[in-house]
Amino acid sequence: MNNRLPSTKEMQAFIVTAEKLKFTSAAQVLNVTQGAVSRQIISLEKKLDITLFHRHARGLSLTEKGQHFLPLIKQVLQQMKSAVEQVSTIKPLIKLKAPSCITTWLLPKIMAFQQAYPDITVALTSSIKHDTNFSSESFDAAICYCTEIKDKSLISELLFEEVLTPVCAPSLLSEGKNQLSITAMKNMPWLHSTPQQSDWSLWLADAGSTSLTSKHNQHFATLDVAVSAAKQGFGISIGDVVLASLDVASGALVMPHPLQVKSGKGYYLASSKTSNNLSLPILVSWLLDHTK
């Protein structure tokens, strides 16, 4: 065997370092020490008998040889991984993280995806956190709730914008009615997903009723718990139109007022640009096609 051929560790270290242009940042992504990354790069440069990086006081930059080598070595790694997947008996795995409030909406889509692509396994983890650090968490993708994703190291796609409206159980409405006036709502318990009551405040501001308050308020840690309480008839919650759609269609919830307000936030499907999971683009494309 040609001893000048780089190892997969050396190739991976070069790719990540070329994208981060700092040994410390590359070490965090690879979950090794800075010295280990530096040694991998030095070993690779010795095998190739070329300099891949210019070393600066505040970071690195690729040499001309390094710039030429980067896309070639990326292609080699992708081909190797594709070859392994084609002959391996182990199903490709996608590790997906999502906020707990979105799981009721997401689960039917994941199950439908599994039926469409039985050879790909999706491992779903729910969390009360609304973001993900791909450097420290071992997920291939995550659904993030935010105004926008500014991190340039990530690829993101908007699944849907958050649109807020009151939701409650049909039992709270008078027989034969499916609507409530804003003033009538003050006589019912208001269910809040945050201590700041921000969702209600935003909706009332757009309704021009900022001074309106409820005599009874109940706070919960997450949106899904507040909406679950609303389904059980404990009061009225502010819910997202898309997330509540299945419960509205089944008759478990109603939207008793026509006003719907955009919060300025949305649910984004994000993944690292350095991800080498060949099945991930299939899931991303499928979710986008089945969300619009």
Task: Identify residue 149 by its one-letter amino acid code.
Answer: I
pLDDT for res 131 = 73
Q: β-strand 236-240 against 154-167: which pairing, if any? A: antiparallel
**How many angstroms separate the CA atoms of 8 and 76, rounded?**
10
The pTM assigned to this predicted structure is 0.67
The torsion of the CA quartet 265, 240, 232, 204, rounded to 10 degrees, works out to 80
Closest CA to 133 of 227, 271, 31, 35: 271
> Domains plus CATH for the chain?
8-87 (1.10.10.10), 93-155+266-289 (3.40.190.10), 162-263 (3.40.190.10)
**How many angstroms separate the CA atoms of 259 and 257, rounded?**
6
**How many angstroms separate the CA atoms of 23 and 52, rounded?**
13
pLDDT for res 82 = 74
pLDDT for res 1 = 41
Q: β-strand 261-272 against 190-192: which pairing, if any? A: unpaired
pLDDT for res 90 = 64
Q: Are 155 and 273 in contact (CB under 8 A)?
A: yes
Q: How far is CA 188 from CA 169, 173, 227, 251, 261, in A?
A: 12, 11, 15, 20, 21
**How many angstroms separate the CA atoms of 203 and 114, rounded?**
37
pLDDT for res 258 = 95
Q: What is the pLDDT along the chain (292 residues), one digit of tens a residue?
A: 456 788 888 999 999 999 999 999 888 888 889 999 999 999 999 999 999 999 998 889 999 999 999 999 988 888 887 777 667 656 789 999 999 889 989 999 999 999 999 889 999 999 887 777 887 788 999 999 999 888 888 899 999 999 999 999 999 998 778 899 888 898 899 999 888 888 999 999 999 998 888 888 999 988 889 999 999 999 999 999 999 999 999 999 999 999 999 999 999 999 988 888 888 999 999 999 888 6
C-beta atoms surrounding 196 within 10 Å: 10
Per-residue tokens: 200? 């209600």
pLDDT for res 89 = 59
